[in-house]
Amino acid sequence: MTFHFIPGIWLDHYGLEMSESFRVTNTGVEMFTNYPRELLIQSPFKMPDGSDGIIS
């Protein structure tokens, strides 16, 4: 069975959305891409309003 998974989070001034297609088989999962899966963080992160982005 094939799925297209699109998780996302949207805040007031920015958001994040990812997209991944994959197939579930009897023996596991098959990814359709071989793109490196890594988290890239820009530091220091700056909000458009000048705050540090902390919500609470």
pLDDT in tens, 7-36: 999 888 778 888 899 999 999 999 998 888
Q: Is the pLDDT at 3 greater than 60, yes or no?
A: yes
The residue range of the domain holding 3 is 1-56
How many structural domains does the chain have? 1
The mean pLDDT value for 43-51 works out to 68
Nearest residue to 33 via CA among 44, 22, 46, 49: 22
Encoding tokens for residue 29?
């999962």
| pLDDT score for 45 | 64
Nearest residue to 22 via CA among 43, 2, 45, 42: 2
